[in-house]
Structure 1
Amino acid sequence: MSIIKAPAGGGTFRYIKKKDYDPVKHILFDLSTLGLSAGNLHNYAWQKNGSVPTTAPHPLAASVNDKYYHIRQATGDLEEYDPQTGVWAIRASMPSPSDGCAACALGDKIYVSGGFDDRNAMRIYDTSTDTWTINSTALDKMRMEHTMAAGSDGRLYLFGHYHLDAEDINNTVYDPTTDTSSAIAPLPISSDIRYSAAVSIGDDIYIVGGEGSSNSSLYAYVWRYAPTSDTYETVSAMPGAKYQHALVAVSGKLIAIGGVSTSDVYEYDPAGDRWIKASSLVSAGTEHAAAVIADRIYMTDSSGSFYEHDSERNILVMEVA
């Protein structure tokens, strides 16, 4: 292990943003040479930022035009948070509320798919008019406890579902321009899977973790899906299994956050096909949902706790006295 000698005048250890580094004022420390953990290396600055106006199990989240949207699946309550003012506003309630839905944003709209009470539905919220529309037959097959991500082609991709013997294992692609859907290839796993999370980076979609809905096995698997070829590639698994977790993309990296009864946060670099453990959440919580606004992650859990953090990594320096 390397030994770094402090200057005669001493100094103070502190984390700073990379942009604030000044070689005259700061001595930069490489944490990997100091034998510190990957969590310290990345030092995510999580902050608890109060609570959402209403709480419920299985929250959904999305961001549109620098606003964060929190949806209670079971009741349809929709709340909008403005990071600039720190104020929550009540918006139009979602039609046909149900547990087991998935949500993502595309353009100015938020799409909420499926659920136990309206299994083939696609609900569409227009943030510019504060109005909802719904097509209860938009999906080609029933979808519950699944995940959904927006592709770079302007279509929505749905993966996994609650186990039903009558259902096949194909996944679904939904086209908002035609309000119709069709089947795509199943995940490369022998069992059914639910409570995964999915997000796009570039032209690829990553499907991360989940639970076997018929066998209750927990998974750390990660697949990269290419919509152009309708194929999957298995990439490096997470350090630990997750389900009902949040997944976001920031600066070309995946951030997998929390899940049921865990505070662990993992980061994935697609270029190196490598996961690392980042700093944990303030508390474990459960059933996390998150969205990104200007490289800051905003997150809620089923208890109603609301968190944010600056996703830019800090670096450890000694500030010379």
Structure 2
Amino acid sequence: MKRVLAATFAAALAFPAVAHAHPDHSVAPPAPVANPVYGTGWQQRAPIAGGPRQEHSVAAIGRHVYLIGGIRPDGNGGVTTVPDVEVYDTRANTWRRAAPLPVPMNHPNAVAVGGRIYVLGGLSGGASWEALADSFVYNPVTDRWTKLPPMPKGFERGSAAMGVHGTRIYLAGGMRTLTPGPGGLQDTVADVHSYDVLTRRWTTLPSLPEARDHVGGAVVGGTFYVVGGRDRGQVNVRDTVYAFSRGKWTERAPMPTPRGGLASAVIGTKIYTFGGEGRVIDGVNTVFPETEAYDTRTDRWEELAPMPIPRHGTAAIGVGDTIYVPGGGNRGGGAPMDVNDAYKPR
């Protein structure tokens, strides 16, 4: 069932390290899942072969979904940032390993362009997750990563909104620091840049109207959309939708449900958003089950069947007519899972 809403206009530098428990990104086992309801477009797929993962990114080449970086349980009650890359074959419903990132990263900024995967910065592991400028391109034919020009000095960040138009990769917002611990710094930014994969040059673009991180991003019809997200904290969620076209930002119809830590993907002219974090119930930060879609042609939102297992800190990618959503956590903070679901819009 869907309801259409009137328009008003988702490492340490050399070594993985543990990020300790804290209120905003506490390390906890996943919550028990009681009889998740599939159907209404949702299907359970083969779990991530390498085990639970969260705060990763995904990109697709052909029928293959690449799961890149992120965090996983370290076996000692914490999490570790990993360089691991796993590949999901959407046709065979199987997983395999690929060459790892040269640098372990969580919240990596990753997209696919021209049959290759670009990772343009991210966050490190350790006691404080700091921005990394390191950028790389992956060739699936050779299974090798090659170093690229780093992100511009002073503008390094992870967890940015991403989009691709032609040979240009767009990055909007993100965060420079996520410090574990009560009151830990979360340095959200409004910076916007593009990177041309042919010239290998970075360009500074007009900043977002407001800073955002853990935000959805997509390019549809030549327009770059930045959807939802948060500003300096898990519970500081936002419902805004910004659109960048012809050199300026405009505001579009807001999301029905403000969310940060959401995943987003495109099928046709619609942007689909999944889950998220910052849903406060009885003073506790929990996750959102919502699936909502934005029609870029009509500037309208619709509510769709919720996630069978609500999660945040996940990522989504469209392959053909289906969206794949691997990993994420079903508690507020760090609670990596190996769940891998597919959603096919009706």
TM range (shorter): 0.7 to 0.9
Instruction: Answer yes or no: is 1:137 the counterpart of 2:171.
Output: no
Instruction: Give the structure 2 partner of residue 175 of structure 1.
Output: 196
Q: Return the alpha-carbon distance in structure 1 between the equivalents of residues 197 and 173 of structure 2.
A: 20
RMSD in angstroms over aligned alpha carbons? 2.3
Q: Return the alpha-carbon distance in structure 2 between the equivalents of residues 138 and 238 of structure 1.
A: 30
Q: Which amino acid aligns with 1:107?
A: G
Q: Which amino acid aligns with 1:99?
A: N
Q: Return the alpha-carbon distance in structure 2 between the equivalents of residues 215 and 279 of structure 1.
A: 24
> After alignment, is 114-123 or 88-97 more displaced?
114-123
C-alpha contact (below 8 Å) 1:196/1:207 kept by paired residues: yes
Q: Return the alpha-carbon distance in structure 2 between the equivalents of residues 116 and 194 of structure 1.
A: 12
Instruction: Give the structure 2 partner of residue 89 of structure 1.
Output: 96
| Runs of at least 5 residues in structure 2 that lack an aligned partner in the other structure | 5-38, 71-80, 125-130, 178-184, 278-286, 329-336
| Runs of at least 5 residues in structure 1 that lack an aligned partner in the other structure | 1-35, 314-321
Shift of 1:168: 7.4
Q: Which amino acid aligns with 2:340?
A: F
Instruction: Give the structure 1 partner of residue 107 of structure 2.
Output: 100
Name the CA shift for 1:107/1:53 in 2 (closer, same or farther; >3 Å). same
Q: Return the alpha-carbon distance in structure 2 between the equivalents of residues 168 and 285 of structure 1.
A: 24
Name the CA shift for 1:220/1:167 in 2 (closer, same or farther; >3 Å). closer
Instruction: Give the structure 2 partner of residue 48 of structure 1.
Output: 44
C-alpha contact (below 8 Å) 1:138/1:180 kept by paired residues: no
Shift of 1:208: 0.4
Q: Deviations over 1:135-183 (max 9, x none)?
A: 36243521122222112x3101111122579997431111111222121
C-alpha contact (below 8 Å) 2:68/2:108 kept by paired residues: no
TM-score by length of 1: 0.78
Instruction: Answer yes or no: is 1:308 the counterpart of 2:273.
Output: no
Name the CA shift for 1:290/1:167 in 2 (closer, same or farther; >3 Å). closer
SS in 1 for 2:255: coil
Shift of 1:68: 1.0
Instruction: Give the structure 2 partner of residue 277 of structure 1.
Output: 303
- How many residues in Structure 1 have an aligned counterpart in Structure 2? 269
> After alignment, is 158-167 or 137-146 more displaced?
158-167
Shift of 1:247: 0.9
Q: Deviations over 1:82-112 (max 9, x none)?
A: 1222221111111111223221111111111
Instruction: Answer yes or no: is 1:160 the counterpart of 2:177.
Output: no
C-alpha contact (below 8 Å) 1:138/1:179 kept by paired residues: no
C-alpha contact (below 8 Å) 2:107/2:158 kept by paired residues: yes
Shift of 1:114: 1.3
Instruction: Answer yes or no: is 1:119 the counterpart of 2:132.
Output: yes
TM-score by length of 2: 0.72
Name the CA shift for 1:121/1:163 in 2 (closer, same or farther; >3 Å). closer
Instruction: Give the structure 2 partner of residue 13 of structure 1.
Output: none
Name the CA shift for 1:298/1:215 in 2 (closer, same or farther; >3 Å). closer
Q: Return the alpha-carbon distance in structure 2 between the equivalents of residues 144 and 72 of structure 1.
A: 12
Q: Deviations over 1:33-59 (max 9, x none)?
A: xxx6529xxx84101113111222212
Name the CA shift for 1:60/1:210 in 2 (closer, same or farther; >3 Å). same
Instruction: Give the structure 2 partner of residue 38 of structure 1.
Output: 3
Shift of 1:72: 2.5
C-alpha contact (below 8 Å) 1:139/1:174 kept by paired residues: no
Aligned with residue 227 of structure 2, among 179, 185, 208: 208
Shift of 1:280: 0.4
C-alpha contact (below 8 Å) 2:46/2:94 kept by paired residues: no
Instruction: Give the structure 1 partner of residue 241 of structure 2.
Output: 222
Instruction: Give the structure 2 partner of residue 252 of structure 1.
Output: 269
Sequence identity of aligned pairs in percent? 22
C-alpha contact (below 8 Å) 2:269/2:295 kept by paired residues: yes
Q: Return the alpha-carbon distance in structure 2 between the equivalents of residues 106 and 90 of structure 1.
A: 21
Q: Which amino acid aligns with 2:115?
A: D
Q: Return the alpha-carbon distance in structure 2 between the equivalents of residues 111 and 240 of structure 1.
A: 31
Instruction: Answer yes or no: is 1:195 the counterpart of 2:214.
Output: yes
Instruction: Give the structure 2 partner of residue 27 of structure 1.
Output: none
Q: Deviations over 1:251-272 (max 9, x none)?
A: 2111111122111000111222
Name the CA shift for 1:305/1:155 in 2 (closer, same or farther; >3 Å). same
C-alpha contact (below 8 Å) 1:172/1:183 kept by paired residues: yes
Q: Which amino acid aligns with 1:105?
A: A
C-alpha contact (below 8 Å) 2:69/2:108 kept by paired residues: no
